[in-house]
Structure 1
Amino acid sequence: MSGSYLVKNTAWSFSFLQGYADYISRLPNVQQHGTDNGALHAYLAELIAKPSDPKLPICFRIYNESSGFGDLFLFEACIREVLGNKTSFGSIKILPKGTAWARDPRMTNSKWSPDRDFMIHNWKTTSQGSYKRTPISLKADPADDWYNWYNPIVGHFDLELCKP
């Protein structure tokens, strides 16, 4: 998931989105490059980071040699380090951590917060697992696949109730 973003209908926004879409032709030829979030971080870095920042080549080396999610997340953290704590870059505004409307289940081992969560990303029945033990840890098992998730709802969940 490439984060949450809103786009105002302007010529600048159209150009930004076209540049992001075109980034697919520039993705590194590696196993795990993150066609969505990895590409967005790379594209944002090109647009708003200072080209002279000595950390940028290090970040892009990580990206261009990435072989799994660990490398991809390291690249994304590296770009965030380059951008700093700033959240406003002219026409681009980045929401602070913990303020978005969707997140990955792995962040809290599929636990749901009625106070903070609106939507959990990437819940697919093909990657749903069963808990091996209780109580359920807040930390995900490092041996689990990134996409694994566990149903935090006790009892049967009737999807028919979710239709209009």
Structure 2
Amino acid sequence: MKIVNQININTSIDKVWEILSGNFSEISSWTSAVVVSTENPDLPKGDGRKCELPDGAIASETLVNVDSGQHTFSYEVKLSSMPFFVRSMINTWKVEPVANGQSRVSFEIGVTLLPIFAQIMGVLMKRQFNKLAKVVLEELKVFSETGKVHPRKEEQIKLNIAKAA
């Protein structure tokens, strides 16, 4: 099952690429889909990240392909709470130039499910992943264009500060 979402961003391909790839382990600095992100200490430096998700799950993400010339990269996702019927999950990002200094960002989520569960859970998972992708892309757009986090992320930061106090 593949879920693909795209967004046009009013900034250069290089700026968006730096946010996504150059600062790969810092995804939590701009999206509310990730509470905390760090380099994955179990991998060589630069090969992956660990992300704490809003529901408390931990995503271990390992880069499997990076093509800086084509502005694309893929990583395998393993969740601490991965359902048994999910065989694999690979996310792919691609940044392309568009006219007038704009960039088009594509975010593809590829999930392999046990065959019987593909029919049962496929529609529900597609809906959930589409919603997630739209949030992430919208927040990337705001951050790329303004240098400021989206109000959702701002609220998450305030809640985390309040919890820590």
Q: Given the two structures, how large is their TM-score scaled by the length of structure 2?
A: 0.27
For the pair shown, which has the larger CA radius of gyration, 1 or 2? Answer: 1
Higher strand share: 2
Q: Given the two structures, how large is their TM-score scaled by the length of structure 1?
A: 0.27
Which structure has more RCO (C-alpha within 8 Å, separation ≥ 6)? Answer: 2
